[in-house]
Structures are given as structure tokens and as C-alpha cells.
Amino acid sequence: MTGSEVLKTRAGAFRHEHLDTVQSTNSELMQRARNGDPGALWLTASRQLSGRGRRGRGWMSERGNLYASLLLIDPAVQSQTGSLPLVAANAVERAIAASLPGLTRITSIKWPNDVLIEGRKVSGILLEAERLADGRLAVVIGIGVNVSICPDSAPYPVARLSDYAAGADASMLFARLFETMSEELAIWDKGAGVSHTVERWRRAAHGIGERITVNLPNAQVRGRFSGIDDDGMLRLETDEGTRMFAAGDVFFDN
């Protein structure tokens, strides 16, 4: 399907537009924000020509998987937006779990917002924010889910939905995500409900108590992952004491 529609959920009205091909659903939505879009807009695409991942990496974007982004304008005061990655992770984890009938408790979230099936990455989330010329804050939540294809080479184990749910398809998954994201945003309540968001995230957390390596742009730090604080920062117990991280790539030491 290519076109646009307005759909109402219990948490409000969101528009949805689907395009066959874009460079990147994230880039397209940020450009629309710069051009004055009022937000609450989902954009999905069948494929991306320049799909982007975290830390400047590419994101394999061939037909068959879900590529979806949500544009929010002024979703909260800026000091509260740091917890949006957890909101997004909760929504994606629930949408994926609901797509796996009969298979319970095989999904989890790796800090901050990779969703895993049986410990293997099935989804990545890229959040981008920009202060617009008119002073509004534009936030784009970009979500990629491996539905029927997996990248050939990835620095971590990967999964695809179709190996667990025969007939899984991107539009069915998006319909679930549309609902769960709206519900998780309502729970988060512009940051006023962050404690509920953090609690929900903790219930799905992967590997609390395990030994991990946090990769930073110029360093690696090893320790025991002891959870997240009330703002969603990762807590690492190292030989030198407790360290907190707002960003970084987590690898589990097996």
C-alpha cells in the first residue's frame, strides 16, 4: 500500500503514510519537520536506499522487513526526552512478542533499545532529535525489524521474525506497533510517567547481572550489568566502582 491515512488509538490520533521507496524514513521525517509538519506522523517504507543505524552505521533495508519512523514534535520538555528510547523499546518488544503466538518470554530488550528473540537482535531503534528554526523540538523514532530477512554480516547474533512465526509480515507487525507505541507514549505521559516506563523496561531487560563490555567511541569498559537507574542510564559495576552510561554499545561476555 502507498498512501496516507489518519488512525485513532486510545492515546490519540496519529497519521500514517506508506511509501514504496525512500532514502531513509528517519531522514524523510526530519525533513518534513523542518518544512513545518505538525508531528504525530508515522512513515513506513517497503525499502530504504540509505537506511541508517546507530553510530553512523548503515542498516540493511531490502524489501521484506519493517522500516518505520514516528515524528513527534515537542513530545516533552527536553530534559524528559532522554527516556524516549525506553518507551520505544517497550513498544517494539510488545509488538514483536504479540506476533509470536504460543511462544512466551522469548523476547527481551538489550540496553538501551535493541529487541532480541532468544538473545539475538531482531530490531534496532535510531532516535534523532533536532531543534527546528522555529524553536520546536523534532524527535524521530526510527525502527527497523527483521521480519523475513537478516543481514549477512553483523557484529552480533541476529534473528528474523519469520523463523518463529510463519507468515509474519511487515504490515501486520506495524499495525501492532502502531497500537503499542501509542499505549507506551500514553504511559510515559510526556515524562511524567517515566517511572512506569522504566519499570516496564526492567521487566523485559536482557542480561541483568551478567558480565558485559560497553563499547564507547574511544574506549571499552568491562563490568557487571546491574540494571538501569530511574532515568534509563546503564549501571555497570567495575573493579574501580560503579559507572553510569547514557550511551554505548553493549556486548555480553559469554
Residues at the interface with ligand BTN (CB under 6 A) = 24-26, 48, 51-54, 57, 59, 67-69, 114, 124-126, 142-144
Closer CB to ligand BTN, 124 or 232, in the complex: 124
Q: How far is the CB of 214 from ligand BTN (least distance, A)?
A: 16
Instruction: Report the residue closest to ligand BTN, judged by CB.
Output: 124
Q: How far is the CB of 192 from ligand BTN (least distance, A)?
A: 27
Q: How far is the CB of 186 from ligand BTN (least distance, A)?
A: 23
Closer CB to ligand BTN, 126 or 177, in the complex: 126
Closer CB to ligand BTN, 149 or 189, in the complex: 149
Closer CB to ligand BTN, 141 or 185, in the complex: 141
Q: How far is the CB of 206 from ligand BTN (least distance, A)?
A: 14
SS3 string of the chain?
A: CCEEEEEEECCEEEEEEEEEEECCHHHHHHHHHHCCCCCCEEEEEEEECCCECHHHCECCCCCCCEEEEEEEECCCCHHHHHHHHHHHHHHHHHHHHHCCCCCCCCEEEECCCEEEECCEEEEEEEEEEEECCCCCEEEEEEEEECCCCCCCCCCCCECCHHHCCCCCCHHHHHHHHHHHHHHHHHHHHHHCCHHHHHHHHHHHECCCCCEEEEEECCEEEEEEEEEECCCCCEEEEECCEEEEECCCEEEECC
Closer CB to ligand BTN, 177 or 193, in the complex: 177
Q: How far is the CB of 56 from ligand BTN (least distance, A)?
A: 10
